[in-house]
Amino acid sequence: MTTETKVKQSVLLDKIQNRTAVIGVVGLGYVGLPLAVEKAKAGFRVIGFDVQEKRVNMVNDGVNFIGDVVDDDLQKIVNEGKLIASVDYSKIKEVDAVMICVPTPLDEYQQPNTSYVESSARSIAAHLHQDMLVVLESTTYPGTTEEIVRPILESSGYEVGKDFYLAYSPERVDPGNKVFKTKNTPKVVGGVTTKCTKIAAALYRSVLEGDVHEVSSPAVAEMEKILENTFRNINIGLANEMAILCHKMGIDVWEVINAAKTKPYGFMAFYPGPGLGGHCIPIDPFYLTWKAREYNYHTRLIEIAGEINNSMPDFVLSRAMQMLNDAQKPLHGSKITVLGVAYKKDIEDMRESPVLPILELLEQNHANVTVVDPHVPRFQLKGRTIETTPLTPELLSASDLVLITTDHTTFDYQMIADHSPMIFDTRNALADVTKIKAIYEKL
């Protein structure tokens, strides 16, 4: 390493330590906006970038659109000039460090779509400068940082580890989590070189309360993120398979799980449900199954868990049809009230919500469906906008079947139990309701 590089590295670290570094965040969604807010609250000047002009305007007006961001925090840092948003990616030349927090969906063939990452990297490469730190946070397959992002950035003529610094630090965002937010969740960082790792870790340590764990490479950091979500995917798949088997055997799977979790070691409770939702758990494991083919390896356990979880909407429909059939009612024409369309409770996030395929199946079978969700006023289903409906005793009483698909805490479960003629509870939401008049079944 030359003396010049040592000096430049120390200048960047000094900027981080004295909060004079300007931070860029590309993508102002569920990951990017909370990260931008925390960096601004820590004293950095932050520029957020997004291709959606409406989203940019909302940030600049101090209008929050992400549940995990506190409204007052956003308004305060915007009013103080600590955070601005822009659709003009040429402003990247003004930043000292930039985090890429863009979507990484799967395409129709269940293969990773890295186009957003590539586009972001090209925008950065066009304005890359000496001593800039670039960190990819988007969840993706092992190798993305060095195989895709690095060549794009180095096409600028700058060399990683010498002229600029590149690292991967996976996002760890759990929408609606009341305990762990961006600020207090531990971080993993892996740089292309040791210098890259140290500088990226220093930036995160200057902002976050959680531990910053350094690993030897971006690929290790990318793989650990996949492991986190694959672990959950597989264990939820096990819980769902147990639910199917327990139903056939006439056993309450919820009681089984509650009994099992009394063991203080060797067991972690996972719960069944109508399917998997969110950006990470239903999608991330398939990044790995795709990458594994490059090494002539078939990830059987991951794919089987995915099959089980993806089959749950069909299982829910089958159970609902059986309940109606037992009451001598056809699904065709029955009034079905679906409680909850978000993928988990107490949030508005509908990404990959398993309720959507359930709604499609109900419609295909000509059910008369009404959707209730206090967190989601409207949503898109196969190109149509559907307005959600307020929950009332009259609505419940007029239903042939009430299907609980998201266990929002704002739902009045006693009212649901008192006024519904028939309930299928996929979330064990009525566990604490002592008196249920309805015909009642749990997943």
CB 199 within 8 A of CB 16: yes
Q: Say which of 101, 196, 246, 280 is annotated catalytic.
A: 280
Q: How do strand 335-339 and strand 378-381 relate by DSSP bridges? A: unpaired
Coil/strand/helix, residue 307: helix
Q: 442, 438, 441: which is closest to 420 by C-alpha?
A: 438
Two structure tokens written together for 77: 């840092």
State the Cα–Cα distance between residues 65 and 153, nearest whole angstrom.
31
CA 251 vs CA 93, 248, 343, 429: distances in Å: 62, 8, 26, 18
* Separation of alpha carbons 414 and 431, rounded Å: 11
What φ, ψ does residue 92 adopt, rounded to 5°? -60, -25
What residues contact residue 360 under an 8 Å CB cut-off, 6+ apart? 381, 382
Is 280 known to be catalytic?
A: yes
The rounded Cα 128 to chain-centroid distance in angstroms is 29
- 48 strand-pairing partners: 25, 85
How many other C-beta atoms can be found within 10 angstroms of the C-beta atom of residue 107? Answer: 10
Return the active site residues: 280
